[in-house]
């Protein structure tokens, strides 16, 4: 008690002192009519700026960005070793979806695979009043059958870096993903925007072929990893390389797209200024090592101020919670001299192996928002157990998640279902403006990256032990606000979210292996408003195509549907 009281006091001091200064800056900006985003003023964005509350207000650009994406089953050798890769348009990562803050994005997806369904989820995109475009199999739609297409339409109400990925089976981790890059203001200045930088784990066989091992033994040890879709494996392949021009500053958005790996990311001899997490700009802070759970994003600025030379970029799996055969070999190169071909000889920063999130006190949203009192509190135990048939399932409050591809929750709601099955793990949120607090706790030793669709949540507390024994003081004044945070091993996590977006929203662990074996739940929010947002014919057509495909194959659903 004494300990948590002290840390809360320290946090309060920290928050109040760092929020005061930008507030003055914001008043200055409010008076400005319009401004030009430039290397010397990245906080501005035309008639809007970094202080705009983007949950309510979005620039009216009138621009529609349209993309056509096709899933392609191919053979690639991202680290020099060939394997089957399921891709978007033949590349790993797939094409980048780029837009400006406020644009409308239309994505036409064609499933060009022969033996898998698909859906595409736009990770972290709020889908404000557009639930039917969230792209989750069994929740918001039936899978898109081989040969069929589906059109997703959403507004870029947020800005920064993220990824789109398949939300069908383990397909995202067999290669079906790509970058989302939405241009907008930034909480520190920089010269050049390099776009998204992906870090991931990788094996030389498909994730889907490893699933049976995962079901019966647990997550397999992965072989290696990739940085932005490339790496060396022994003498094969090639490293990711980026040239820095001296005295130039670079911004990029790091995205952890692993199936099972918590990374520490660093560039030898360089300090990073962290300016955003998960589409939420923060008060900038500096670090040499960035801790990243799966599906988290951090936007960083790096100054090219070191002596001309070659420097290693490192994505280091934390063995506390992720096993990998190439822990020291997931590397990239920063060169100050583009003609150099030598490997760097630099030494990495020292670190302590752990799967802890960056301390909450460092993650201060630039736009400060507070949390209201709880209208609903869910206290959920996360457990793991082996079934009679030898399959290791995860449970949320004693219920392992299990949905049916052919009967998505959104369709059930649209069809006025009066009850949900126990294994659908549905929690209802009745009215606009209600605050739901969720306490997750576990005695398991696994660290889980918890992701909520359709909302940013507020991270009120996390730590070791049970929630009752720790009795943490909840941070309700401008807590970290994001869409993925870690549930610590043998610990607890408390998050809150505001009901401001009607829909059927998945919340789940983003470790692919756990997501497929039950560690999921869904919020059915503002149910009475959902029907008006849904196109029943689209739901019905997609399911019709899927059911027709199922009659032609011997495919049986062997996972929990998401
Ligand atoms: C989200 O939708 C609500 C309801 O239509 C609207 O009031 C709000 O302005 C929207 N937010 C943004 C950022 O467009
Ligand atoms: C993806 O591939 C499709 C089909 O070949 C093509 O029409 C489309 O232009 C490609 N999209 C991008 C963004 O390259
Ligand atoms: C991808 O191609 C391989 C080799 O032809 C095939 O065995 C596999 O079933 C295909 N996968 C999908 C998802 O279509
Ligand atoms: C996906 O395709 C692979 C072959 O690439 C196949 O083994 C697997 O059963 C399919 N899974 C689903 C869920 O469709
Ligand atoms: C990583 O790859 C993506 C997609 O190919 C590209 O747009 C981006 O610029 C690359 N990122 C960096 C930091 O080089
Ligand atoms: C990197 O930093 C280390 C430790 O401060 C220093 O010894 C080394 O000379 C630096 N390397 C380069 C290439 O600047
Ligand atoms: C990078 O340079 C800018 C401008 O000179 C400075 O404000 C910032 O503190 C520097 N960041 C780091 C990490 O050195
Ligand atoms: C879960 O199951 C255990 C063992 O059967 C029981 O003690 C506990 O009360 C159950 N918890 C809930 C939330 O149902
Ligand atoms: C669901 O209920 C609403 C309101 O009573 C009604 O308008 C609608 O037709 C019903 N939908 C179905 C599919 O029965
Ligand atoms: C749903 O689709 C089926 C074909 O799959 C069709 O027979 C039926 O009329 C459709 N129902 C509605 C309400 O659109
Ligand atoms: Cu997700």
Ligand 4: which residues within 6 Å by Cβ? 115-117, 169, 208, 555
**What tokens does 323 get?**
């096993």
Question: Quick check: is 543 in a domain?
Answer: no
Phi, psi dihedral angles at 41 (to 5 degrees):
-150, 80
Mean pLDDT to the nearest integer, 231-242? 98
Q: Are residues 329 and 410 in the same domain?
A: no
pLDDT at 14 (0 to 100): 32
73 Cα: distance to centroid of ligand 3 (angstroms)? 6
Q: What is the pTM of this model?
A: 0.94
Distance from C-alpha of 376 to C-alpha of 206, rounded to nearest angstrom: 41
Ligand 3: which residues within 6 Å by Cβ? 73, 84, 86, 113-116
167 Cα: distance to centroid of ligand 4 (angstroms)? 14
pLDDT at 527 (0 to 100): 96
- Cα 1 → chain centroid: 33
Q: Of 339, 362, 385, which residue constitutes the final position of a domain?
A: 362
Q: Are residues 356 and 410 in the same domain?
A: no
Which tens digit of pLDDT belongs to each residue from 59-117?
999 999 999 999 999 999 999 999 999 999 999 999 999 999 999 999 999 999 999 99
Ligand nearest 83 Cα, by number? 3
Which tens digit of pLDDT belongs to each residue from 450-484?
999 999 999 999 999 999 999 999 999 999 999 99
Enumerate the H helices of 419-475 as residue ranges.
467-470
Q: How many domains does the chain have?
A: 3
Ligand nearest 156 Cα, by number? 1
Q: Are residues 353 and 256 in the same domain?
A: yes
Question: Quick check: is 44 in a domain?
Answer: no
Which tens digit of pLDDT belongs to each residue from 25-53?
344 444 446 899 999 999 999 999 999 99
Q: Of 160, 184, 208, which residue constitutes the final position of a domain?
A: 184
Q: What percent of the chain has pLDDT over 90?
A: 94
Q: Are residues 180 and 196 in the same domain?
A: no
Mean pLDDT to the nearest integer, 158-167? 98
Q: Are residues 354 and 390 in the same domain?
A: no
Q: Are residues 350 and 218 in the same domain?
A: yes
Question: Quick check: is 555 in a domain?
Answer: no
Residue 384 has pLDDT above 90, yes or no: yes
Q: Are residues 169 and 229 in the same domain?
A: no
Mean pLDDT to the nearest integer, 176-186? 98
CA 16-501-171 angle, to 5 degrees, is: 100
Q: What is the DSSP letter of 45?
A: E
Q: Are residues 279 and 394 in the same domain?
A: no
pLDDT at 26 (0 to 100): 40
pLDDT at 33 (0 to 100): 63
Q: Are residues 133 and 150 in the same domain?
A: yes
pLDDT at 25 (0 to 100): 39
> How far is CA 384 from each of CA 287, 356, 396, 521, 558, rounded to the nearest angstrom?
35, 21, 9, 15, 18
Residue 223 has pLDDT above 80, yes or no: yes
Question: Quick check: is 371 in a domain?
Answer: no
Domain that holds residue 76: 2-20+55-184
pLDDT at 10 (0 to 100): 32
95 Cα: distance to centroid of ligand 5 (angstroms)? 10
Q: Are residues 167 and 233 in the same domain?
A: no
Mean pLDDT to the nearest integer, 429-434? 94
Which tens digit of pLDDT belongs to each residue from 286-324?
999 999 999 999 999 999 999 999 999 999 999 999 999
Q: Are residues 207 and 289 in the same domain?
A: yes
Atom of ligand 9 minimally distant from the CA of 416: 1
What's the pLDDT band for 398 if we cut at 50, 70, 90? very high
- Average model confidence (pLDDT) across the chain: 94
For the chain, give me the number of helices (H) and strands (E)? 6, 34
Question: Quick check: is 30 in a domain?
Answer: no
Q: Which helix (H) or strand (E) holds 462?
A: strand 457-464
Mean pLDDT to the nearest integer, 181-210? 98
Residue 208 has pLDDT above 90, yes or no: yes
Q: β-strand 491-498 against 177-183: which pairing, if any?
A: unpaired
Q: Of 134, 166, 184, which residue constitutes the final position of a domain?
A: 184
Residue 110: which CATH number?
A: 2.60.40.420
pLDDT at 34 (0 to 100): 86
Q: Are residues 446 and 469 in the same domain?
A: yes
What's the pLDDT band for 562 if we cut at 50, 70, 90? very high
Return the minimum-mean-pLDDT range out of 2-16, 503-517, 519-533. 2-16
pLDDT at 24 (0 to 100): 37
């Amino acid at each position: 008690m004494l300990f948590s009281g002290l840390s809360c006091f320290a946090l309060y001091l920290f928050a109040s002192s760092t929020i005061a200064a930008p507030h003055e800056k914001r008043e200055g900006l409010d008076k400005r009519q319009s401004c030009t985003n430039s290397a010397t003023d990245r906080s501005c964005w035309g008639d809007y700026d970094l202080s705009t509350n983007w949950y309510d207000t979005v620039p009216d650009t009138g621009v529609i960005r349209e993309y056509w994406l096709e899933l392609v089953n191919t053979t690639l050798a991202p680290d020099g070793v060939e394997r089957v890769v399921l891709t978007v348009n033949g590349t790993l990562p797939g094409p980048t979806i780029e837009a400006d803050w406020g644009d409308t994005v239309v994505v036409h997806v064609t499933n060009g695979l022969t033996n898998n369904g698909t859906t595409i989820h736009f990770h972290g995109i709020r889908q404000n009043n557009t639930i039917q475009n969230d792209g989750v199999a069994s929740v918001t739609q039936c899978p898109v059958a081989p040969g069929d297409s589906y059109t997703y339409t959403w507004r870029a109400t947020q800005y920064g870096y993220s990824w789109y990925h398949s939300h069908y089976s383990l397909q995202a981790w067999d290669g079906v993903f790509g970058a989302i890059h939405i241009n907008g203001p930034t909480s520190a200045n920089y010269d050049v925007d390099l776009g998204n930088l992906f870090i991931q784990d990788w094996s030389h066989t498909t994730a889907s072929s490893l699933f049976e091992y995962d079901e019966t033994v647990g997550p397999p040890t992965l072989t290696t990893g990739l940085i932005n879709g490339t790496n060396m494996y022994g003498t094969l392949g090639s490293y990711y390389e980026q040239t820095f021009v001296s005295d130039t500053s670079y911004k990029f958005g790091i995205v952890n797209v692993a199936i099972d790996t918590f990374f520490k990311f660093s560039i030898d001899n360089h300090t990073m200024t962290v300016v955003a997490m998960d589409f939420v700009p923060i008060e900038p802070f500096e670090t040499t090592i960035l801790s990243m759970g799966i599906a988290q994003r951090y936007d960083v600025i790096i100054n090219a101020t070191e002596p001309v030379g070659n420097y290693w970029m490192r994505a280091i799996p934390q063995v506390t919670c992720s096993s990998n055969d190439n822990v020291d070999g997931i590397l990239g190169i920063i060169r100050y001299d583009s003609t150099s071909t030598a490997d760097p000889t630099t030494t990495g920063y020292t670190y302590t192996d752990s799967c802890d999130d960056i301390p909450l006190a460092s993650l201060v949203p630039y736009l400060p928002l507070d949390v209201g009192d709880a209208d609903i509190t869910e206290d959920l135990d996360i457990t793991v157990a082996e079934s009679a048939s030898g399959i290791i399932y995860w449970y949320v409050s004693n219920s392992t998640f299990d949905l049916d591809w052919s009967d998505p929750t959104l369709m059930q709601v649209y069809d006025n279902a009066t009850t949900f099955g126990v294994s659908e793990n549905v929690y209802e949120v009745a009215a606009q403006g209600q605050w739901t607090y969720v306490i997750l706790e576990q005695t398991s030793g696994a660290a889980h990256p918890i992701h909520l669709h359709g909302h940013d949540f507020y991270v009120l507390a996390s730590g070791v032990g049970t929630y009752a024994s720790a009795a943490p003081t909840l941070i309700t004044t401008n807590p970290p606000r994001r869409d993925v945070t870690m549930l610590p091993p043998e610990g607890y996590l408390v998050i809150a979210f505001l009901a401001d977006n009607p829909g059927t929203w998945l919340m789940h662990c983003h470790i692919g292996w756990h997501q497929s074996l039950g560690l999921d739940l869904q919020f059915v929010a503002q149910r009475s408003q959902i029907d008006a947002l849904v196109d029943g014919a689209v739901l019905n057509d997609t399911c019709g195509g899927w059911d027709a495909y199922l009659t032609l194959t011997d495919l049986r659903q062997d996972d929990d549907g998401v």
